Amino acid sequence: MTHTLFSLFPFFLLSVSPAQEDPIVKKAHRIHQRVLTLDTHADAPIMMQKPGFDVGKAHDTKRDQSQIDFPRMKQGGMDAMFFAVYTSQGPRTPEGHAEAKRNALNQFALIHDALKKHPDQAELATTPADAYRIQKAGKRAIFIGMENGYPVGNDLSLLKTYYDLGCRYMTLTHFANNLIGDSSTDPDGPIYGGLSDFGKQVVPEMNRLGILIDVSHVADSTFYDALALSKAPVIASHSNCRALCDFPRNMTDDMIRAIAAKGGVVQVNFVSDYLKKPSDAFRTAKTKIRMARVGKVMTPEMEARLAAESDSLAKVFAPERASLSDIVDHIDHIVKLVGIDHVGIGSDFDGGGGVNGLEDVSQIENLTVELVRRNYSEADIAKIWGGNLLRVLGQAKVQ
């Protein structure tokens, strides 16, 4: 009889994988479905600028070099993401700032147009309440952040323009200095010793409007200037721990403590060489590619060449790539240092993020599994995946 049942129903017996039977995986799945998951740094607009790319349709990670779209967000149980309006640092000239503004406004338009095209899949969010409402409706909540204050130029009024278009955080600098302040990685070194005089006007205006101050990418001196000046909590939208991976883009323990003391959050990212120290050869080659954009107005041909060089580099140094475990090591470090209320997730998908076991947004439940393996409770995971950041967003506006 047993033999007969097996021969009749082998497909059933073979369809249950060991992973599906793993109690930790099953527990993580239930938690992942219940909590609101939010990622504070997604570079989807980089892909959305490519001709023919539709964020409302599913794409293949390897074929399309894309890690984010609305269908894969749904597949992975990713409820909300901040799409980053990113501009690489070009010349600090009137012409450079005009081009950066044009580029930024185009990206805002692309995001708004995609949401109008796919209203059944996603909706713009600007408040914590929006995130929960949109999640309840079964759609993706799309917030907007700006990576690099370069498109502000020296025109303070543009902050209101970007706020009205949905911007709810701004990364003050990127890989090089701008008119707001010094970057942590400018090849020519600092020029202001922190925030510029203009930057000291930008921070209070962001407080007034309700735009979170993002200190990822800034020089340590800029970090402390912004922290002292801001009346609202600040965030690091996609930064890791310097104690675990010594790189100036990452936060020192003292910086993490300072963010926490002001009520802010550090959002851990998935960029391999910010998670674990790569070889000097890999870091040098990667830095050369990153800095090739600095001070230049990039053409499509230049971008294509850099993309090819980056892809080739990734293949050569694949054995050095970080893993899911490395991500949670950084989360653990922050929690041990300042507690569960000051850490979150800022993947940097489509902008260099991705580790072994977490290749695109469809796989983000794997991170919840690793958190459960490390004995984080559902309440803890809810804070890490979005609760902490939404709390801080609710405190962004200070008169």
Q: Are 184 and 174 in contact (CB under 8 A)?
A: no
Strand, coil or helix: 385: helix
Spatial neighbors of 94 by CB under 8 A, at least 6 apart, are: 153
Quote the pLDDT of residue 3.
37
Write out pLDDT tens, residues 314-343. 665 566 789 999 999 999 999 999 999 999
Report residue 381 CA to chain centroid gap.
18
Over the stretch 186-200, which tens digit does the pLDDT of each residue have?
999 999 999 999 999
- The CATH homologous superfamily of the domain defined by 20-48+67-276+322-393: Metal-dependent hydrolases (3.20.20.140)
**Structural domain boundaries of the chain?**
20-48+67-276+322-393
The three-class DSSP label of residue 59 is coil
Q: Any residues with CB less than 8 A from the CB of 294 and at least 6 apart, and which?
A: 88, 89, 90, 175, 176, 186, 187
CA–CA separation, 251 and 220 (whole Å): 9
Answer left, alpha or beta for residue 357, where phi above 0 means left and psi between -120 and 50 means alpha. Answer: left
Residue recorded with tokens 């219940």: 34
Closest CA to 22 of 351, 323, 373: 373
With tokens 């439940």, the residue in question is: 365
pLDDT in tens, 4-27: 333 333 333 334 444 557 999 999
- Mean pLDDT, the chain cut into blocks of 10 residues (399 residues total): 36 43 94 98 97 96 93 98 97 97 98 98 98 98 98 98 98 98 96 98 98 98 98 98 96 98 98 85 69 70 70 62 96 98 98 95 98 98 98 95
pLDDT at 392: 98
The answer to whether 352 and 195 are in contact (CB under 8 A) is: no
Q: What is the pLDDT of residue 12?
A: 34
Q: What are the pLDDT digits (tens) for 151-203?
A: 999 999 999 999 999 999 999 999 999 999 999 999 999 999 999 999 999 99
pLDDT of 292: 73
Q: Which are the contacts of 382, defined by CB distance < 8 A and separation ≥ 6?
A: 34, 35, 36
DSSP-assigned letter for residue 36: P
